[in-house]
Amino acid sequence: MMIDRNIHLAYFDPKKGHMRNPGMGIHAYVFSDHMHYGFNAAQFSKTEHEAPNRKLKRETLDRMLQLPYTDNLYFRTDWCNIQKEKGRLHIQEELEWLLEAVRESGRKWSFRIMNSSRHSVKNNSVPDFLQDRLEMLPYQNQTCGHGTSYYPAYTEEYLKWWEELLHLLADRFDDDPSLEFVDISGYGIWGEGHHYGMHGQDRSNSNRHAPNAEEVLTRLITAHDRIFAKTPVAMTLHYLDYQAGVDAVENTSLWLRRDSFQRFVSKYEYEAVAKPKPGRAILWETIVPEVREMQPVLFSRERLVQRYLDWGAHYVAMGFNPWEVIYAHQFDLGLYEQIAEKIGYRIRPSVIMRRVNEREEHELIVVLTNDGCVSPPGTLTLTAAFPSGKNVSLELPMGAPEVNDRRYYTLPFPKEDFACTSGQQVTLTLQLRMKGKVHPVKWAVRQPLADEYKASAPLIMPCSGDPFLTPSGTYEPEL
């Protein structure tokens, strides 16, 4: 008969409520193509069609930044706003404000550049210096009173300039550790793959797919992923209308996003988000907090949060602009609290043990529990810092630990620490690698920690005999 020499060093319980960690959180839009709001469906529609580009004041943004549920600052703008000339970016005022806020607050951010938007101030989103170089395709659009709007045709000339834009953006931002992801864009209205509108002389309402869509999407998806070598890129699920999108879901770990939760979201989309590849993040747009009666579910607020959590969510957006974020914090904190309780991954060392194995070597056994609704979107490294000053690290499988995973991980003690007792401690930390960026991870534990990134336990020595026959006083007291 063999009696295992083992003792539990510490237990940690699940954290309640809101927490910030890399690769997850609540989106707060700093700037978008929906810089408007309305307090019912009719008002929202009226402002969307007549004045969707309300000017943002710095004091409004500052007010939003003081609010708690603003984990990832999101920026969405037209191509013509970010580039005014060949070979050079134009950083608009609102983006400067965002970058300043990121530097000062430690928040993360993300962005999308739109090749086309129904809400553009002009009748297209292309920079002025390219107006005469690119072929433009018309569609009828009543937003902003344009009547006829345009998006660029997917020609070789267009793709050349779009890739130049990607290189400019990556040169400026890919090394930024606070940039968590970039949306894949460049195809369809808002860059989301939509081509609906009234087309042709008969003004028929249809979704006009590009004849070279497969080639274009393959190139755009590949280009974003290649050019942003360090930053994850997120693909809209609308690209699943094409084989290029299906291939990306099946053969890559690209992040995925849905521009809204709708009743016609398909089985294939469900499978992509509910059973994602390890390391993939799932992003959801958006709840419009001030509008309650929109039907069917399209940006509606009632019962929508639970759908996100049921399917899996690393990110959820609240509102399209700072005014809606402020409104939600004032009048709908319950929505935020429901999201914050389960969104993303929430990892804790539920049990930490010390064991002496058959070779008389000491081992640290850590049971990692994920109390969130999704797996971590990358690869975690667990590190134990021992009293001798030596660290022992273990890289976990990508995406581990999964939700409700009960797997344990074993880290060997350095020989110098075999004799350590309860007067000394081991300290555990986590790091998450997402593509080419590495971030420290906070422990999602209820117990107060002096440092949210460090969970410590006393190195109690296991007893040498049968634990059932060992008086409790033989064990070193934990406190």
Q: Looking at the domain assignment, is residue 296 inside a domain?
A: yes
297 and 424 belong to one structural domain? no
CATH of the domain at 30: 3.20.20.80
In order of 102, 143, 283, 334, 469, the CA distances from 30 in angstroms are: 12, 21, 17, 22, 64
**The domain boundary residue, chosen from 274, 307, 342:** 342
Q: Is residue 479 assigned to a domain?
A: no
Phi, psi torsion values for 64, nearest 5 degrees:
-65, -40
Residue that terminates a domain, selected from 342, 361, 393: 342
**CB contact at 8 A, 381 and 409:** no
Task: For tokens 């793959």, name the residue.
Answer: 193
What pLDDT, in 10s, does the model give residues 147-176?
Answer: 788 999 999 999 999 999 999 999 999 999
The reply to whether 329 and 378 lie within a common domain is: no
pLDDT score, position 293: 60
Tokens of 112: 């999308």
Residue 406 in any domain: the answer is yes
**371 in Cβ contact with 346 (< 8 Å):** yes
The number of helices, as runs of H, and strands, as runs of E, in the chain is 11, 23
Beta strand 72-78 with 25-31: parallel, antiparallel or unpaired? Answer: parallel
User: Whose structure tokens read 């927490």?
Assistant: 19
pLDDT for 66 equals: 97
Which pLDDT does position 397 carry in this prediction?
97
Name the CA dihedral angle for 444, 447, 452, 453, rounded to a multiple of 10 degrees.
Answer: -70
In the predicted model, residues of the chain with pLDDT beneath 70 are 1-3, 142-146, 197-206, 292-302, 470-479
In a 10 Å sphere around its CB, with 0-12 CB exposed, 13-18 middle and 19+ buried, how is residue 200 labelled? exposed
Q: What is the pTM (predicted TM-score) of this model? A: 0.93
Per the structure, the complete domain to which residue 29 belongs is given by 25-342
Give how many domains the chain has, as a whole number: 2
Name the strand (E) or helix (H) holding 204: strand 204-207
- DSSP letter string over 274-317? HSPPTT--EEEEEE-TT----SSSSS--TTHHHHHHHH--SEEE
Q: What is the pLDDT of residues 73-89, one digit of tens each?
A: 999 999 999 999 999 99
